[in-house]
Amino acid sequence: MIRLVEKMLAPVKRRMKLLVTRGVVKVVNDARKMQELQITALAGELLDGVERIQQYGFTAHPHPESDCLILNVGANRSHPIVIAVDDRRYRLHLAEGEVAIYDDLNQAVKLLRSGIVIDAPNDSTHNGNLTVNGNLTVNGNTTVTGTLTLAGVNMNNHTHQITTGSSAGTTGGPQ
């Protein structure tokens, strides 16, 4: 009886073993609507044109030799998809509950227990308006190429009335 049950479950067992596989990224094609990868899987098997499913709103172009997790849809090895990619060479180490978005250039946005930290070792650019509710501290130089308004006063053409003895006048604007 046990042998009969084992024989009946053997095909299911084989398919379950094929359901999830580890692999290594070899080539990334990011030109299509769905990113496609060439990967090596079981025993060096080369799989080409494997779609990579990514979280909506997040995308990445992984390096070759990144690790990946392959899901064979319906436990059918003719329809693999990549559901996760990680690269141990660049992974950040965080405390429990912390989250980060990062890359291989040490750029990161970290949501830490101590607050939000943005690491941008290279120049960074913000396009659009920016409002800071709270104090702003700048450790370094500040260059303003547009109009600078301080407490409602336009500093680009700000002047002062002066009185020296019996003469009065107006200072010139900023130079």
Half-sphere exposure of 94 (CA within 13 A, CB side): 20
SS3 14: helix
Q: Where in the chain is the domain with CATH 2.40.50?
A: 2-86
Distance from C-alpha of 77 to C-alpha of 86, rounded to nearest angstrom:
22
Q: Hey, what CATH topology would domain 2-86 get? A: OB fold (Dihydrolipoamide Acetyltransferase, E2P) (2.40.50)
Q: What are phi and psi of 74, to 5 degrees?
A: 65, 20
Contacts 24+ apart (CB under 8 A), 97-104: 101/58, 104/63
The pTM score is 0.73
Q: For 30-133, list the strands marked E by DSSP.
A: 36-40, 46-52, 67-72, 80-86, 99-102, 108-112, 115-119
Close Cβ partners of 37 (under 8 Å, ≥ 6 residues apart):
25, 26, 27, 28, 29, 50, 51, 52, 62, 68, 82
Distance from C-alpha of 150 to C-alpha of 99, rounded to nearest angstrom:
36
| Beta carbons of 108 and 125 less than 8 angstroms apart | no
- Per-residue pLDDT of the chain in tens (175 residues, 90 and over written 9): 888 888 888 887 877 777 899 999 999 999 999 999 999 998 889 999 999 999 999 999 999 999 999 999 888 888 999 999 999 999 999 999 999 999 999 999 999 999 999 999 988 898 999 999 999 999 999 998 888 888 888 888 887 788 777 777 777 767 6
